[in-house]
Every structure is written in structure tokens, then in C-alpha cells.
């Protein structure tokens, strides 16, 4: 069963920020590659939502590594996947 995927406003914002950062720093090809990888990971999550580990601060929130530099935080409900935000792994860690 494939779950429907819902982007929260903050997920849309952080995805856009990450895309533009990569585009400005590394070029359009790298930014488009990141977006394709993110779409691939989201597709995997839609088909198998519990494949990635639960976060340490909230067991209902899961973390998918998109690239070495970026992760996706998401939450699984009975009917859908809520994409919460994209996180730059080079930042300070999220504290509980």
C-alpha cells in the first residue's frame, strides 16, 4: 500500500531553501540531482514508511538521509506521510 504524501509549509520552504543553496553554491545540475534524489527517497517512504529510523526526540518522527549533507524529517499517520522539514546535517543537532 502506498501512502499519500503531504508537504507541510515548512517542508516546502526548507526544500526550496536547500535547492537554492545548492544551485547557488554548486550549480543547476547539482541542485536538480538533489531534487531527484529527494523525490526518490520520498517515493521509497510512500511505499515503506518505516524503513528509516525514528528520531531520538520523538519516536513518531522519522529521519531519512537524502544526502550526506541533508536529511528529511517526516511523520507517518494511518493514511498519509507528513513531510515536516528538510535539515542541513552540517547544522547543530536538534536537541530534545
One-character DSSP codes across 51-86: SSPBPSS-TTEEEEESSSSEEEEEEE-SSEEEEEEE
pLDDT digit string, tens, across residues 55-95: 888 888 999 999 988 999 999 998 899 999 999 887 665 54
Do 76 and 52 touch, CB atoms closer than 8 A? no
Per-residue pLDDT, 95: 46
Per-residue pLDDT, 31: 94
Per-residue pLDDT, 64: 96
pTM: 0.88
pLDDT digit string, tens, across residues 10-54: 999 999 999 999 999 999 999 999 999 999 999 999 999 999 999
Superfamily of domain 4-88: RelE-like (3.30.2310.20)
Amino acid at each position: 500500500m502506498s501512502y499519500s504524501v503531504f508537504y507541510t509549509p515548512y517542508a516546502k520552504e526548507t526544500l526550496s531553501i536547500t535547492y537554492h543553496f545548492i544551485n547557488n553554491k554548486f550549480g543547476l545540475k547539482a541542485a536538480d540531482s538533489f531534487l531527484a534524489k529527494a523525490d526518490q527517497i520520498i517515493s521509497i517512504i510512500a511505499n515503506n514508511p518505516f524503513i528509516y529510523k525514528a528520531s531520538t526526540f520523538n519516536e513518531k518522527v522519522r529521519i531519512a538521509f537524502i544526502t550526506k549533507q541533508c536529511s528529511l524529517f517526516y511523520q507517518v499517520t494511518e493514511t498519509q506521510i507528513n513531510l515536516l522539514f528538510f535539515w542541513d546535517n552540517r547544522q547543530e543537532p536538534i536537541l530534545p
